[in-house]
Amino acid sequence: MKRIKEIGYVPNINFSLHDVEEESKELSLYVHSEKLAIVFGILKLDPEIEILIQKNLRVCGDCHEATKFISKVSGRKITARDSHRFHHFTGGFCSCGD
């Protein structure tokens, strides 16, 4: 999170659904399942292997934005399939055009 914040990522706390203090809302965004799955993929997969995330719910706006930054910082191709569409993240951009 520190590396993507350095290049411009700003957490959108509107996607934090917990009724907690403002400081805790940002921290709750860090443990969304998409972000945890991407980090696990970065740690465990070879760098040339694309990371594929599958969800049965739609990807939240904050995770979508963070994944764009993660793909830029890590240089990895990330595909997230949610209940609505495939999102292909490469170099800080998404195939859906936001």
Each residue of 8-46: pLDDT tens digit?
Answer: 998 887 776 666 677 777 777 788 888 999 999 999 999
The string of DSSP codes covering 35-71 is HHHHHHHHHHS-TTSPEEEE-SSPPPHHHHHHHHHHH
Task: Look up the pTM and report it.
Answer: 0.85
CA distances from 60 to 4, 29, 45, 50, 86 (A): 17, 10, 24, 21, 14
Residues forming beta bridges with residue 94, ordered by sequence position: 89
The C-alpha atoms of residue 9 and residue 35 are separated, in whole angstroms, by 14
